[in-house]
Amino acid sequence: ADALKNPAVIARAWRRLPEAVRSSYQMLFFSRVEQPPAPVQEMVRDGYAQVLIRPGNEDLVALYNQARGFVFPSLYEGLGLPPLEAMKCGAPVIASNRGSVPEVVGDAAIVLDAQDDAALAQAIQRLIEDEGFHAAMQARGFARVEEFSWPKPADRVLDVYRSVLAQAAIGRQADTRVSL
């Protein structure tokens, strides 16, 4: 829950949710630091959140499998694997429109402005309350993750090599005909 992961927007969005939603669900923050940012501490103090410090891979898988959704409003991200990890476990994703995240999640996530707490609150509420939407986003997530499984990228690389080799062969044939 460091500042670049943007927990402040989550806290603001959470306050916008109806009390019935806030009291029925808890936000779980994963953190690399012992002392999470003030907005997260406030949510913990109010009973709306918990913080898990440096969870292991097995813990992450178990938590993703139990999650109603995964919120990833990161302000800066390299590749951004956590949304894919969540999708693989069946957690629909709400993600930031920053960095590489939109490319990674494609149309399998709700992508929104990383600072728009009103839109984030609306997206969280919809994932919680709309079963059909939740199921559709879950299915999209499963399909998206398959695009990142090893056979798919490997097949794409092979296709590129085949294409290059085919073009080279055509070029050699053309050269042969011209030299006659």
> How confident is the model over 76-130, as pLDDT tens digits?
887 778 999 999 999 999 999 999 999 999 999 999 999 999 999 999 999 999 9
H-state helical runs in the chain: 7-16, 19-24, 38-45, 57-66, 82-88, 101-105, 117-129, 131-146, 151-179
CATH class of the domain whose range is 3-149: alpha beta
* Domain ranges (residues) in the chain: 3-149, 150-180
Residues 135-168 have pLDDT tens digits of 999 999 999 999 887 666 666 677 777 778 877 6
